[in-house]
């Protein structure tokens, strides 16, 4: 697969920059061509344009979510055959059945592991696509831990920009942008295995969806969320 045009094409649709970073870096190491985008509408456009071999799709995205994208893809004759793998932190039976009924092939649970990702590729595209790469029968805890460390490092480094955005949104009372930031942080929290961060951002997203927003409460909860990220960073730095 040295010819660029012959590479396996993978489309990653996720509003979490941490997840996009992880999967792109991971798949490029296996000589796959990786296309990424941040919402379902762009995902449909990219699918039609690039005709990927497989799509990794986040369910919960603002504006145009994964379920909507999946339903649209399955009525477009030219792309409805493309396998879709759902990435979700909610893998209860009801949720899994609903996405399978909508046309998904598999559901992967966050936080993602190296073993689960490669097992999915093998199951859907076959072992031949990995024939020239390392064996994928077993993976050490060190390898899966390395994925989480890479994600945490990327999340921590990118949070400074998000923090600035959060503080600016509070100052300007920009509800839509702050909700979008909380939604992205919620997804990132699941990806890096920080349950408390996911819960705090989810709670803030719900508060921002009420008819009357209590900005004093929002400010306190945002400060608490920022402190939570500081704890994650401190723990990461101690471990490295």
Please answer whether residues 63 and 38 qualify as being in contact, where contact means their C-beta atoms are separated by less than 8 angstroms.
no
27-84 pLDDT, tens digit per residue, is: 888 888 999 998 888 999 999 999 999 999 988 777 778 888 888 998 999 999 999 9
Return the CATH number of 4-139, one of 3.20.20.10, 3.40.50.10190, 3.40.50.2300, 3.40.50.10140.
Answer: 3.40.50.2300
Q: Give me the phi and psi of 42, to 5 degrees please.
A: -65, -35
Please give the class, per CATH, of domain 143-239. Answer: mainly alpha
170-213 pLDDT, tens digit per residue, is: 999 999 889 888 888 887 787 777 888 889 998 999 999 998 99
Domain limits, CATH 1.20.120, in the chain: 143-239
Domain limits, CATH 3.40.50.2300, in the chain: 4-139
Q: What is the mean pLDDT of residues 217-224?
A: 95
Burial class (CB in 10 A: 0-12, 13-18, 19+), 191: buried
If one counts every other C-beta atom within 10 angstroms of the C-beta of residue 62, the result is 16
Dihedral over Cα of 88, 98, 64, 215: its sign: negative
| pLDDT band with cut points at 50, 70 and 90 for residue 141 | low
Give the E-state strand segments of the chain in sequence order: 9-13, 33-37, 54-58, 84-88, 106-109
């Amino acid at each position: 697969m040295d010819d660029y045009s012959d590479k396996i094409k993978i489309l990653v649709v996720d509003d979490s920059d941490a997840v996009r970073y992880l999967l792109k870096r991971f798949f490029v190491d296996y000589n796959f061509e990786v296309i990424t985008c941040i919402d379902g509408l762009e995902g449909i456009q990219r699918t039609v344009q690039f005709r990927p071999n497989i799509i990794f799709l986040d369910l919960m995205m603002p504006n145009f979510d994964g379920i909507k994208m999946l339903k649209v893809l399955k009525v477009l004759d030219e792309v409805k055959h493309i396998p879709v793998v759902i990435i979700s932190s909610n893998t209860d039976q009801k949720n899994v059945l609903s996405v399978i009924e909508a046309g998904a092939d598999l559901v992967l649970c966050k936080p993602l592991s190296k073993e689960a990702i490669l097992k999915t590729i093998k199951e859907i595209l076959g072992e031949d696509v990995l024939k020239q790469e390392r064996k994928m029968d077993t993976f050490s805890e060190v390898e899966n831990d390395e994925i989480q460390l890479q994600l945490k490092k990327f999340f921590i480094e990118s949070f400074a920009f998000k923090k600035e955005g959060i503080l600016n949104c509070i100052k300007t009372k920009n509800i839509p942008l702050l909700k979008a930031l909380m939604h992205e942080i919620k997804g990132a929290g699941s990806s890096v295995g920080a349950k408390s961060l996911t819960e705090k951002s989810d709670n803030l997203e719900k508060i921002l969806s009420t008819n009357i927003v209590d900005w004093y409460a929002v400010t306190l909860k945002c400060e608490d969320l920022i402190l939570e990220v500081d704890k994650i960073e401190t723990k990461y730095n101690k471990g490295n």
